[in-house]
Amino acid sequence: MCVRLMSPERLSILYVSQMPASPPRFGAQARIHGLMTELAQRHDVSAVTLVDDAFDTDECRRAMEVYCREALLIPNPFGREGLYKRLLQLRSLTSTSSFERMRVTVPGLQQALDGILRVRRFDIVDLEFPYLGHYDLRKAPPGQKSPALIVDSHNIEYDLARQFAQDPSSLARRLYAEANWRKLRHEELATYRAADGVYLCSAADERRLLAEAPRMRTAVIPNAADVAFYQPRSADPPPDDCTVLYFGLLSTVPNLDGVTHFAQEIWPRIAAARPKARWKIVGGRPPPSLMALAGDRIELTGFVPDLRPHLAAASVVVVPLRLGGGTRLKIVEAMAMGKPIVSTTLGAEGIDALPGRDILIADEPESFASSVVRLLDDAPLRARLGESARRLSVERYSWTTAAASLERFFREVITTRASSREAA
């Protein structure tokens, strides 16, 4: 294969990830998909990703080939759920490697990376998540300069695991996280320190990273929304004055904890105060503990191909999260749809929404329930909050804006590397 010389204006970018970006079905995918598709409008984007059993490989390849110059999807034999995952977690307890690293250590992935990096010159290798940091990504065709390595930190993963180690709701989860988070910390910080730059979802996560690695080059690239797709539409059903909506991938620990907390501590107060209120839970992979919530006033839809009608019909979107990091895509997508939102402080972390103008914030069950009831009773307030949230999303939280910031960061890193080589 011949090597094409890149102009200084157009970048050649290789995305490396533990999961395919498209079609986006949950938050992590939505972030990668949103940034990649925007960058692909001005640059050459390729991808090498692992594919777990949960994904349809052909569907993902077709979706990614729409905007990727090349998309290599490598089957992950360790990417299975259920008993296999539990056994791998048990094995990791006696290993110096974290479970997360063991799960993505696939010889076929390094072979695929070698194949593409040795024949094509990339300006940037964008590594999604720190879990793949042990792979050799600094390769180039003979006589060519190696690419800059930049990591997209969706969360400070070891800090998230440390939060799980303090979770009183599950003894097994707490004990496992206590044994795992320090290994994660060692691996994650090594990946960051070996990189030329790291971009994060929030200023809070950036401060956490810089406290550990103060010399790291960083940038904040917040989560965003496709504001042209997620917007109020005349064809959508109007709010029904009684539906409270939660949406998100229901297999993740933060979402599972948030929904369980809402069900036990907050929803009973709302249901007692407003007998006509209904709670709709939208999201894939709900465990049996959440499926058991379904009843006359609580609906679980499972995965839906289009969130917009469900968001449009809801009167209030709730984000009762107590665990997590980064920024929540569910908030920026609901904002883009012009919906009033009640969130915990942690749930809204990293989003510059003004409480009382763009969003309502409540951390205690009683105040959270009261805020939801207040919105159910006050249609003008719902409208004001929703309109303000929509304006904020368009101005600051679109993928177009986020990708422009990321492109600037890429160019800063490339310029800094070039200056360092010249100085040497």
Can the peptide bond before residue 23 be classed as cis, meaning omega within 30 degrees of 0? yes
Q: Going residue by residue through the chain, which has 424 residues, state the pLDDT in tens, using 9 for 90 and above.
A: 333 334 458 999 999 999 999 999 999 999 999 999 999 999 999 999 999 999 999 999 999 999 999 999 999 999 988 888 889 988 999 999 999 999 999 999 999 999 999 999 999 999 999 999 999 999 999 999 999 999 999 999 999 888 888 877 777 778 888 889 999 999 999 999 999 999 999 999 999 999 999 999 999 999 999 999 999 999 999 998 999 999 999 999 899 999 999 999 999 999 999 999 999 999 999 999 999 999 999 999 999 999 999 999 999 999 999 998 778 999 999 999 999 999 999 999 989 999 999 999 999 999 999 999 999 999 999 999 999 999 999 999 999 999 999 999 999 999 999 887 766 5
Coil, helix or strand at residue 149:
strand
Sign of CA dihedral 137, 143, 144, 145: positive
- Rounded distance, CA 180 to CA 176, Å? 6
Single out the residue of 80, 40, 46, 30 nearest to residue 249, CA to CA.
30
DSSP 3-state of 122: coil
Beta strand segments in 39-123, E = 44-51, 70-75
> With contact defined as beta carbons under 8 Å apart, do 279 and 299 qualify?
yes
Find out whether 314 and 375 touch, Cβ atoms under 8 Å. no
Domains observed in the chain: 12-224+399-423 (3.40.50.2000), 243-396 (3.40.50.2000)
Q: How far is CA 387 from CA 88, 232, 338, in A?
A: 47, 10, 5
Residue 102 has phi, psi (to 5 degrees) of -60, -35
Distance CA 366, CA 283 (A): 25
Q: How far apart are CA 357 and CA 350, in angstroms?
A: 16
Tokens matching residue 159: 């800090």
Nearest to 385 by CA among 222, 326, 376, 294: 376
| Residue type present at position 16 | V
Q: Which residue has the tokens 């090597």?
A: 3
Q: Cα angle vertex 36, ends 4, 150, to 5°?
A: 75
Of 215, 211, 223, nearest in space to 197 by CA: 215
